[in-house]
């Protein structure tokens, strides 16, 4: 089972070490950190959705290779009955 990672919030001091943010006031830095946090949550949500979609597609492909879909079996049964 995967370990739960502890999330660390960016500090004002860490932000100010980045090029272009050196002279930000505390208020500007805090607003920027909040925006970055919201953006990272949004991107993570999109990443997880895409990951689930890919996993679902992989399961469908594996099921199709293994024995086909139920629709194929139903069509086959109809032809056999005719």
Q: What is the pLDDT of residues 54-79, one digit of tens each?
A: 999 999 988 888 875 555 555 555 55
Tokens of 12: 């004002």
Apex CA 36: angle with CA 35 and CA 41, to 5°?
100
- pTM exceeds 0.75: no
* Segment 6-59, tens digit of pLDDT: 889 999 999 999 999 999 999 999 999 999 999 999 999 999 999 999 999 999
Q: What's the pLDDT score for residue 34?
A: 98
Q: What is the token pair recorded at 80?
A: 């056999």
């Amino acid at each position: 089972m995967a370990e739960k990672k502890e999330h660390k919030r960016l500090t004002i001091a860490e932000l100010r070490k980045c090029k272009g943010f050196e002279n930000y006031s505390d208020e500007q830095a805090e607003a920027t950190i909040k925006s970055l946090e919201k953006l990272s949550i949004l991107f993570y949500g999109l990443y997880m959705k895409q990951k689930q979609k890919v996993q679902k597609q992989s399961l469908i492909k594996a099921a199709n290779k293994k024995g086909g879909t139920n629709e194929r079996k139903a069509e086959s049964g109809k032809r056999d009955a005719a």
